[in-house]
Amino acid sequence: MPLTPQTGSVAPPLLVILLGAGAIWVATGIRPGMLPHDPGPAFLPMAAGAALVGLGLRLLLAREPHEGPPRGGMLLRVAGTIALTLAYLTTLERWGFPASTFAFLTCQMLLLGVRSPLALATLPAGLTALTYILFRILLSVPLPATRIGGILI
């Protein structure tokens, strides 16, 4: 496949930068947290805004040649990701968070071209466990549960 320069329009990176800057600007109006070392509710929108600004700048400055995806492949991946996300949302309550998240991540990796059996087994399991530990155990956020072997997880 021939190398194509990444010299597209500057509008998409500028929109990403504006979106990030807007998130930061809106987050400055959020009340600070009550505790002395509490990052407060504005932390996450500010961090996401900063990440978007950084990504937009990176996209704006990117000019290296790259090997582009096949023309029909991108549409298939986008449509597949939308379908997988809808399937994930419909199975989340029925299957529970661990099972549906593991299935979603495995299918998404297959869609994106990962074929290593080791990666297909370990990455989704590790990401599911890490997300479960972060939200359910550390942050005490209730997640849709599932029964495995008679126990509710």
The pLDDT tens digits for 28-47 are 888 776 666 666 777 788 88
Give the lowest-confidence range in 17-31, 42-56, 70-84. Answer: 70-84
Q: Please, how many CA atoms are within 13 Å of residue 136, restricted to the half-sphere of its CB?
A: 15
**Which pair of tokens denotes residue 95?**
């299957």
Both 77 and 127 in one domain: the answer is yes
Both 11 and 50 in one domain: the answer is yes
Boundary (domain end) residue, out of 24, 45, 67: 67
**78 vs 82: CA distance, rounded Å:** 6
Indicate the pTM of the whole model: 0.57
Helix (H, G, I), strand (E, B) or coil at 4: strand
Q: Which of 9-18, 64-73, 121-130, 131-140 has the highest mean pLDDT?
A: 121-130
Number of neighbours of residue 126 by Cβ within 10 angstroms: 11
Confidence of residue 85 (pLDDT cuts 50, 70, 90): very high
Both 85 and 52 in one domain: the answer is no
Confidence of residue 134 (pLDDT cuts 50, 70, 90): confident
Both 109 and 56 in one domain: the answer is no
Could you tell me if 99 and 146 are in contact, meaning their C-beta atoms sit under 8 angstroms apart? Answer: yes
Range of the domain at 37: 3-67
Both 92 and 57 in one domain: the answer is no
Both 77 and 136 in one domain: the answer is yes
